[in-house]
Structure 1
């Protein structure tokens, strides 16, 4: 009986979620699927594109349909509330009143097998920036969505061979250089790169559309860096509806690509970046599948990608509109539990 008890304890411990439950973050235990035994962390800390709604939604899909343990961390205010309304720049003349951002739970990045970043212009305390850098430099894979390519206002304390590392242009392969078209007026049709259509990340992916506009991440007349491989091009449309015609005056630009990041110790981390990813963009099953396939690819689990495995939303998902007019949009500080 005693042997059975200890075996049960060991079995239960083996199945335990790697991050303890807390009122400061959300945990989603694994369901059935090839991801069992792997832990994904999703960081929701932007002010414009409703990552506080979309990252829990993605975590539910990854845990319920794919078997991953998932944890969602949030940017919070001094009261511990999820607060997308926190400013990213101090008001002129009130610089001393500016509040740093805060993401509780970053210490648990150490247990992650993959991290999905959805951040925007954060000014974090140094110890939190150091935890982020420790993961980025670990050789483990990561994904960056939409505003994550300008995810940090204060530089990350990351140097290799004495040179400051740029998170957007160097680590991700591109940083926000402007809206390629009309901000909050265009939408994007994703077009799979013909030469890459057999890539495992594109398995089962079709009909990528989102009502956010295309980002420019490199100067006109140039291209993605040589170490990046474009998977999806984004064609700006003339409006914010799925069937709106293309804006033929605007060339398509890459909206999803892969690369590797060489860490300070010479390890190669797999990186996937999508400049699509607003709350409404992620209503597109094609975009959700693209990102979920990238999760598998990032962890070298290509063989487990199933083009028909469900990427259906679990429960309800009604994202608020993107933007900064918080009162009109209904965006306000809420407890973490509101996003469960």
Structure 2
């Protein structure tokens, strides 16, 4: 009887150490796991399929992340196919740079599933009008992706009055004063001059509850212009953390302050500490006029 009890207690002790070890291992593995960032591109105009892979490579090289870049097939002007969207199921952050896509419902299902996880999202410029399904199409609701996913206007023009101030204009960018200490703006020196022509999102967007980070003033606008927010954070209709910027012309990516904004925002979205800056990236991508 004594031996049996002794064996039992020895077994219990070993089992306890086993559980403790496994728990410690699991916690360590979780801590060491690289966050996965999935970039989804296809924008006709701004060469997001070229600028964002450079950001992705920088995240892997200097910031300890794993990245996957998805591109419209067979080219950026192809509106109906972005292969590999199933990768979103493993993403910790999804970054979108889209313009007027008409993806099939089986591909939309991967985006829909991601949205329902309430994991964070990031969007660039034309992602305000990411989809463009014809009236009456079964996927027409996706035309409002900008609103329900990124707190921006629900598509281009229309009642939202979402427009811009002319391709020959550009934008002076400054910090919203009460956000000067926002961690996303760490090292983001303003004012800086962006090649992106200013998007109008006011008066109704970003949606209520969003936090405005940067504002833009149109330079040499082609018609009467007002200042508009060009970067904001918030919580979308699914309850996910979001970061959205209406900047994103390829020349904007040459600006160190814009690069820092993007890197900082990615870390913030992932709940990570804003990192020490690893230096300016060499991003030299050409603008491609929309067709």
SS at match of 2:240: strand
What residue is the counterpart of 1:108 in the other structure? 87
Q: Which has the higher contact order (CA 8 A, sep 6+)?
A: 1
Aligned residues of 2:129 and 2:143 also touching (Cα < 8 A): no
For each residue in 1:78-112, what CA deviation from the matched residue of structure 2 results, as whole angstroms up to 9, or x when unmatched?
xxxxx1233xxxxxxxxxxxxx5111111111111
Task: Pick from 179, 182, 206 the counterpart of residue 189 of structure 2.
Answer: 206
Q: Contact conserved, 2:260 with 2:277, CA < 8 A, in 1?
A: no
| Alpha-carbon distance, 1:226 to partner | 1.6
Instruction: Give structure 1 stretches of 5+ with no counterpart.
Output: 1-9, 16-33, 78-82, 87-99, 240-246, 326-340
Contact 1:35/1:67, CA 8 A, preserved across alignment = no
In 2 relative to 1, CA 192–157 (structure 1 residues): closer, same or farther, beyond 3 Å?
same
User: How many residues were matched structurally?
Assistant: 254
Paired residue for 2:207?
225
Q: Is the 8 A contact 2:42 2:77 kept in 1?
A: no
Alignment TM-score, normalising by the size of structure 1:
0.68
Q: Which residue of 1 aligns with 2:150?
A: 172
Alignment of structure 1 residues 300-339 onto 2, 5 Å: 300-301=271-272, 304-306=273-275, 308-313=276-281, 317-324=283-290
Asked whether the equivalents of residues 255 and 275 of structure 1 are also in contact (C-alpha less than 8 Å), the reply is yes
Distance 2:63 2:50 in 1: 20
Shift of the alpha carbon at 1:312? 2.1
Deviation at 1:188, TM superposition (A): 1.2
Distance in 1 between the 2:243 and 2:198 partners? Answer: 17
SS at match of 1:166: helix
Task: Give per-residue Cα distances to partners, 1:263-313, cap 9 Å, x unaligned.
Answer: 2xxxx3100000001211111111111111111111121xx213x412521
- Give SS of 2:60's match: helix
1:278–1:322 contact (8 Å) kept in structure 2: no
- Displacement, 1:201? 0.8
2:248 alignment partner in structure 1: 277
TM normalised by structure 2 equals: 0.79
CA RMSD, aligned part only? 2.8
**Residue of 92, 105, 109 corresponding to 1:126:** 105
- 2:119 corresponds to: 140
Q: Rate the CA distance shift 1:158–1:196 in 2: closer, same or farther, 3 A.
A: farther
Distance 1:165 1:187, change over 3 A: closer
Residue segments in structure 2 that go unaligned for 5+ positions in a row: 1-24
- In the alignment, the residues of structure 2 paired with residue 179 and residue 165 of structure 1 have an alpha-carbon distance, to the nearest angstrom, of 16
- CA distance in structure 2 between the partners assigned to 1:229 and 1:165 by the alignment: 24
Change (3 A) 1:209 1:230: same
